[in-house]
Chains A and B, each alone.
Chain A
Amino acid sequence: MASKVVDLRSDTVTKPSEAMRAAMAAADVDDDVLGADPTAHRFEAEMAAVMGKEAALFVPSGTMGNLISVLVHCDVRGSEAILGDNSHIHVYENGGISTIGGVHPRTVKNNPDGTMDIDKIVAAIRHPDLHYPTTRLICLENTHGNTGGKCLSVEYTDKVGEIAKSHGLKLHIDGARIFNASVALGVPVDRLVKAADSVSVCLSKGLGAPVGSVIVGSKAFIDKARILRKTLGGGMRQVGVLCAAAHVAVRDTVGKLADDHRKAKALAEGLKKIEQITVDSASVETNMVFFEVMDPRISPDKLCQVLEQDNVLALPANSKSIRFVIHYQISDADVGYALACVEVCESLDPFPSFTVIAFDFSCDSTISCFQKAIKELLEGSTELGHSINGATKSSYGH
């Protein structure tokens, strides 16, 4: 049985590199709540400069990054924020902007490319009325997760920024994977987010830091954000230990994102060759691949279970499709292995004649794990319900 795990569930599973670990151990730190941690200061200044904004603030998670941003822009009671009906903030952040922040969401349909129609955004903006909350904010998500890691172009972002400005609204970008978008589009990240009043950027996803995100914006915005961060409980003390790792992540891993995109494309092309799989490989823009299984007897859940037996971890994206996410700790060989496992799963049916499949991998254990998977499916094994590390069967949009 192959002992290596190929974890394609998300890019959140990246583990800190040796360089990050060394940086954490050596970090020059002090009490950041008192504003004194030099490593945090340095990192925040660096991120502000990279993103072309006045200031930055390190936060424990992307959820907090978005929550703070929405709450700062919508600090007056009775506010409404326009965002995509398939956006991470709306679907996967516990409704916190409302339950914690008292902000009302107004959703607009997300197109398969991650955008919302401009005219629908405009139509969603409230005019003053006895019955209406006050629209204060528009949120975009770049790359857009649920549509497959799609990039919003700089032109589209600028256009939404104009709409926001002309209506006196703010624009926030959930840029958890903004560097993926920047690399895929070939647009410098500061140019890409120029129209935004604030951006939330994850360090702990594809960039590989153990913890954290950064919010960037104007100095006035960040000053307010800092207080909200404290209020939410995100004020950490010698947080330079985490910022040191985050700095290494930005320094070392942004340059590897293009490779993740290449591997995702290779994975998509490989999946396309498997008969029972449909994948729109042209729509693979960054590090995510969504694919569907045509055989109604094989549900996404079932396929993920069988893949798990071969130490390939994946999550169903919905009732019809599965999502694979690539990050720099997935090698080309891992991609090949994953493809092979999918192929094996798809080549079986409930009552097969025994098929021997040969692969040009040198790893004997690879063959034996396939044989085991074949055996189990042949026997109609029902012991597939276990999961590794508490992995859930649903995607939580990470």
Chain B
Amino acid sequence: MATKVVVDLRSDTVTKPSEAMRASMAAADVDDDVRGADPTARRFQEEMAALMGKEAALFVPSGTMGNLVSVLAHCDVRGSEVILGDDSHIHLYENGGISTLGGVHPKTVRNNSDGTMDIDSIVAAIRPPGGGLYYPTTRLICLENTHGNSGGKCLSAEYTEKVGEIAKSHGLKLHIDGARIFNASVALGVPVDRLVRAADSVSVCISKGLGAPVGSVIVGSKAFIDKAKILRKTLGGGMRQVGVLCAAAHVAVRDNVGKLADDHRKAKALADGLNKIEQFRVDSASVQTNMVFLDIVDSRISSNKLCQVLGTHNVLASPRSPKRLVLHYQISDDDVQYALTCFKKAAEQLLMGSTELEHLAEQLLMGTTKNSYGQ
């Protein structure tokens, strides 16, 4: 039976701003950030740069812009190529913007199920400098940590450094799409600045598990951030009294990094609970952070139908297959238990061939998308 509670497992992007964030937005000391004058933006950017162990930082409206600005800043010469995972967010879910807007050519390397790319495959993908007549010029390697499509997997500091060495020895830059870098840092027990030390730039989302309403931050050298600032303006991301958003972002970092370990614990609990339901299977060992990938092992249950029925119980999940479930701090332990009960009920209902709920579910799902967009 549906309750008032909605357990939204679609993504950690759905987090709503806390009371503390709302208060900080209302009270923020602001000025025109396009003129470099917003004190709250400056303070937050300095804080993030220090936290990530880089020289400077820049607040941007989204992770997509964070990655786009970074790729374009590193690849500002026409004829550039960037090496990235074939299952990476930049390649799949950012509208191909690095090419359609930035004129940068992608060279994909297969992502392993742990989120890495084989080192020798990366090296093999680097264009030989001598082949200029036929080849673009490789300028950049991109990693993604945690890696979303493989289930929120962590890239270790050692792997990151190995790729950094490759980049350096070939005269390339290294960018990390660190939308969920704090999840990786917490899960690995590695300080975040150490984790990204080898990177020339990192894009970090504040609006996902950390819960801020809007925004990401790019970090890198001062020279890189100076270029990034102009690119941000060019793309239309130069906002005026943006301190209202940076105030909330500051609260997010202050208050919610410490809650990520709990999200990981809840993800494990969800995984273990789902494994107890006959029709579902989760590779529990592969749950490293806040994501659970669910396999439906009973062919009588379709992913779409499961989604619809769960929706009637106010449990929201994306219809993609394998089904991805994402935890965040606004999902409580009780919510996890409730979701598990609903999964069990849904499986039973579907096996009984119950179809009268579909009509109801369709109405409830109006307005939600049916595809995952990798968030």
Contact = CB atoms under 8 A, between A and B. Distances in A.
Contact of B230 (A36, A94, A389, A396): A94
B373 A33 contact: yes
B234 A100 contact: yes
Contact of A24 (B11, B26, B31, B207): B26
Interface in B239-267: 239-245, 248
Contacts of A93: 234
Given A236-B215, A389-B31, A241 B244 contact: yes
Given A16-B30, A238-B16, A239-B214, A231 B64 contact: yes
A118 interface: no
Nearest to A66: B236
A97 to B, nearest CB: 10
Contacts of A35: 367, 369
A231 B68 CA distance: 9
A306 B32 CA distance: 22
Interface string A357-398: 000000000000000000000000000000001111000101
Nearest to A21: B26
Interface residues of A toward B: which range? Answer: 35 or more
B102 interface: yes
A186 interface: no
Interface in B100-150: 100-102
Contacts of B248: 241
A68 B68 CA distance: 16
Interface string A22-52: 1011100111011110000000000000000
A232 B240 contact: no
Contact of A234 (B26, B65, B234, B243): B65
Contacts of A242: 214, 244-245
A389 B95 contact: no
A15 B31 CA distance: 7
B249 to A, nearest CB: 12
Interface residues of B, number: 58
Contact of B17 (A16, A29, A227, A230): A29
Interface stretch (B33-41, B272-280, B333-341): B33-41
A128 interface: no
B37 A67 contact: no
A93 B314 CA distance: 45
B53 interface: no
A62 to B, nearest CB: 8
Given A33-B13, A233-B235, A392-B35, A211 B240 contact: yes
Interface string A171-212: 000000000000000000000000000000000100000111
Contacts of B240: 12, 61, 204, 210-211
Interface of B: 10-11, 13-17, 22-23, 25-27, 30-32, 34-37, 60-62, 64-66, 68-69, 94-97, 100-102, 207, 213-215, 230, 233-245, 248, 367-369, 373, 375
5 contacts: A16-B241, A29-B213, A34-B369, A204-B239, A398-B34
Interface of A: 9-10, 12-13, 15-16, 21-22, 24-26, 29-31, 33-36, 59-61, 63-65, 67-68, 93-96, 99-101, 204, 210-212, 227, 230-242, 245, 389-392, 396, 398
